[in-house]
Amino acid sequence: MPSEFPSPETRKRIQQAFDPDLLRVAGHRLIDEVSIHLKKAQQTEGKVLEWCSPEHNKSDAASWVNERICPSNDPEALIKHFTELIKTAMNRGINLHDPRYIGHQVPPPVPLAGLMDSLGSLTNQVMAIYEMGPWATSVESVMIDKLGMALGWKKDTFSGLVTHGGSLANLTGLLTARNVMLKDSWKAGLPHYNPDKSPVVVTHQDAHYSTSRSVGILGIGTSQVVKVGLDSKRHMDPNQLETVLARLRKNGRPIVAVCACSCATPIGAFDPLPEIAEVCRRHDVWLHVDAAHGGAAVMSPRYRHLVSGLDRADSIVWDAHKMMHVPALCAFVLYRNREHRFEAFQQDAPYLFDPTAPGQADYDAGMKTIECTKRAAGFGLWGIWSLWGSQLFADLVEMTFDLASGFYEQLMEAEDFQPLHKPECNIVVFQYIPKELEDSPLEEIGEFQLNLRRRIVESGQFYIVSTRLDGIGALRVAIMNPLTTKDHFNALLEGIRVEGKRIINMI
């Protein structure tokens, strides 16, 4: 150890890094800059995305921690440098608050939800045990109650947890299903491997990839995923489900779960849950519903019918960081039967879970989540729910779902565009087919869509995504921004036409 430790310089540096007054000045600056940035984004003054290659961005990001480290620890210099950092980060990021962002299922968060969320970051209210985040734990627990009761479940009969995203939520829900349906699998693993009798997970054909990934992680094996056929609107077909389950039962295959979707990612199709739940009940099978995107429809009297039957699921995944417009990540797993709340993990951690306060275990998030240290994820949702009530969530769902219907009508009216389905929510998949391509093979039309999308994104005019439906490329929008309007959609169609013509002229 040096003779004088800590040195005055060390002490000064640490004190400055923790200085609440420095935070106050920096915090005001941050909010001023974010407010200006969001205003510009909402008024479409810049680009949706300032496209830079990953190598370019990475090299610039590296420069700030190599040759551009703040030259002085003078508070004024630090604030000036801090301002440059946040401006750079915002300018290089994607602008979800720009109404021309019509891309992935990630929303512009309600800004005050972001602010509430920052409380957790600033004070680090982490969770594993109640004592380390008593208020954050209580907030999440209340939100679990509110979502469960919104589904129609009675208080104290159900349970749940909040985790870092829908993928982890699917893994947790399916782990619980595995442990309940395959007794002893937590301890013994799946040692009785017999290819003819090995356990299966039955899924929607369009299930999000995190479902089959979970099956792989759980040791069941992705080749034991049995996909159920879809109807013409890409819903899981209950009749085909019945046939699949009857065959599996006849062959003595243990069934871990049926995974249905509310809604499935590709086109936002909502499964007929009442019928699916009935088939599962007849075969005594665990029903897991991935409602990561569509769960929020429960909040809207006009769209609630889409998730009718969701209350009959044994486990549900519901991402508040999708259609409830809070910052990522805030994903819920809900169990209809409260008895299942500790089934996912049977962990002995004497340094954490205190046997002298057994009643508290219900509040120790670490008993139910994969994470030990876990970010407080509920502040944003709890905050905006308290400010605007549940009506805000109904408004957001209705606005974005209605916008999708309007966009669909615009596509139907345009001769050179073709919607590939009637939207059930805020996801629309379509193709641009100019005259020049009308007689081209489907594959060629599909590849054209993918090229078109890349050009649109790199131009910064709009952010949309692409997908493949039955192997054929298509354009896809998820209308996540409630400030998008019909005029933006018109401009999108026009922008697609212009870029499309450019590609055709290059061929």
Ligand X SMILES: Cc1ncc(COP(=O)(O)O)c(C=O)c1O
Three-state secondary structure call for residue 476:
strand
Q: Which of 289, 353, 291, 278 is nearest to 323 (CA)?
A: 291
- Per CB under 6 A, the segment of 142-150, 165-173, 194-202, 384-392 that binds ligand X is 165-173
Binding to ligand X by residue 431, rule CB under 6 A? no
Contact characters 320-359, ligand X, x per CB under 6 A: ---------x-x----------------------------
Give the shortest CB-328-to-ligand X separation in angstroms.
7
**Site size for ligand X (CB under 6 A):** 13
Nearer Cβ to ligand X (265/481): 265
Binding to ligand X by residue 265, rule CB under 6 A? yes
- Per CB under 6 A, the segment of 15-23, 288-296, 307-315, 450-458 that binds ligand X is 288-296
Longest dimension (CA), the chain: 83
Asked whether the beta carbons of 261 and 166 are under 8 A apart, the reply is: no
Binding to ligand X by residue 166, rule CB under 6 A? yes
Give the shortest CB-85-to-ligand X separation in angstroms.
27
Binding to ligand X by residue 105, rule CB under 6 A? yes
Q: How many Cα neighbours within 13 Å face the side chain of 460?
A: 15
Binding to ligand X by residue 290, rule CB under 6 A? yes
- Per CB under 6 A, the segment of 58-66, 160-168, 181-189, 344-352 that binds ligand X is 160-168
β-bridge mates for residue 315, sequence order: 288, 335
Three-state secondary structure call for residue 474:
strand
Binding to ligand X by residue 276, rule CB under 6 A? no
- Per CB under 6 A, the segment of 68-76, 159-167, 251-259, 408-416 that binds ligand X is 159-167
Backbone CA torsion sign across 241, 246, 252, 257:
positive
Instruction: Report how far residue 84's alpha carbon sits from residue 170's, in angstroms, rounded to the nearest whole number.
Output: 39
Q: Measured between alpha carbons, how far is residue 366 from residues 80, 238, 349 in Å?
A: 41, 36, 10
Q: Which of 115, 49, 109, 114 is nearest to 483 (CA)?
A: 109
Residues 176-235 that bind ligand X (CB under 6 A): 208, 210
Task: Spell out the SS3 assignment of 479-502.
Answer: CCCCCCCHHHHHHHHHHHHHHHHH
Indicate which single residue of 292, 316, 324, 403 sits in contact with ligand X (rule: CB under 6 A): 292
Nearer Cβ to ligand X (237/319): 319
Binding to ligand X by residue 374, rule CB under 6 A? no
Binding to ligand X by residue 167, rule CB under 6 A? yes
Residue type, 17: A
Q: Can you give the binding site for ligand X, defined by CB under 6 A?
A: 105, 165-167, 208, 210, 265, 290, 292-293, 319, 329, 331
